[in-house]
């Protein structure tokens, strides 16, 4: 991906010390990142940059909503996300990633594109299983009509007389104990 100037910080001209930046993330950001799953969102990213002599300490604070389909009922809803991350940027001879939160950039770099890090940090805030939240009474906010339809297609529970009936193909395996 090419550098995105909307999410870059020109740190070379900054004085040593603390600096604050704000970035807004919307569906267009995810389109640029070639993510077709997220088309609507409203996310604010606050970055506190602590510039030191040979490194940058960046603290990310991410808050907002992402419009996603519920894994249970497929209706879209706004998932609230919130989290923090830290990125340490050191100066070196060439670019390398020392760990997931420590990178080395060449000494001749003057700006830092944060778009990939913002993208990854947002994705990490989205749970693996996305479901509608429960209301104050503890009831799911999923689409009731769709849940009733899905319930019709659930496997039926066995009746009392069905437990003794064994498929003849499996009956022969019982003697292998």
* 8 Å CB contact between 86 and 56: no
Query: Comparing 28-32, 55-59, 113-117, 149-153, which segment has the lowest mean pLDDT?
Result: 149-153
Does residue 2 register a pLDDT over 50?
no
Instruction: Please state the rounded mean pLDDT for residues 59-69.
Output: 96
Read off the pTM.
Answer: 0.79
Q: Counting Cβ atoms within 10 Å, is residue 29 exposed (0-12), middle (13-18) or buried (19+)?
A: buried
Q: What is the pLDDT of residue 33?
A: 93
Does residue 149 register a pLDDT over 90?
no
Instruction: Please state the rounded mean pLDDT for residues 107-136.
Output: 92
Sequence-separated contacts (24+) of 129-138 with Cβ below 8 Å: 129/71, 130/68, 130/69, 130/70, 130/71, 130/79, 131/70, 131/71, 131/72, 132/70, 132/72, 132/73, 132/75, 132/77
Mean pLDDT score across all residues of the chain? 88
Q: What is the pLDDT of residue 141?
A: 83
Does residue 83 register a pLDDT over 90?
yes
Q: 19 has which bridge partners?
A: 49
Query: What proportion of the chain, given as a percentage, has pLDDT over 90?
Result: 56
Cα dihedral sign for 55, 46, 124, 32? negative
Q: What is the pLDDT of residue 44?
A: 98
Q: What is the pLDDT of residue 19?
A: 96
């Amino acid at each position: 991906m090419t550098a995105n100037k909307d999410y870059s910080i020109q740190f070379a001209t900054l004085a040593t010390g603390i600096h604050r930046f704000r970035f807004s993330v919307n569906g267009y950001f995810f389109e640029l990142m070639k993510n077709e799953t997220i088309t609507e969102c409203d996310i604010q990213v606050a970055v506190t940059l602590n510039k030191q002599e040979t490194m940058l300490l960046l603290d990310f604070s991410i808050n907002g909503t992402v419009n996603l389909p519920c894994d249970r009922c497929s209706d879209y809803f706004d998932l609230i996300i919130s989290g923090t991350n830290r990125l340490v940027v050191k100066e070196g001879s060439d670019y390398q990633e020392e760990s997931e939160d420590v990178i080395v950039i060449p000494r001749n770099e003057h700006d830092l594109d944060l778009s990939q890090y913002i993208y990854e940090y947002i994705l990490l805030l989205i749970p693996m299983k996305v479901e509608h939240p429960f209301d104050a009474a503890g009831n799911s906010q999923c689409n009731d009509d769709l849940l009733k339809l899905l319930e019709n297609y659930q496997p039926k529970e066995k009746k009392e007389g069905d437990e003794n009936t064994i498929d003849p193909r499996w009956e022969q395996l019982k003697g292998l104990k």
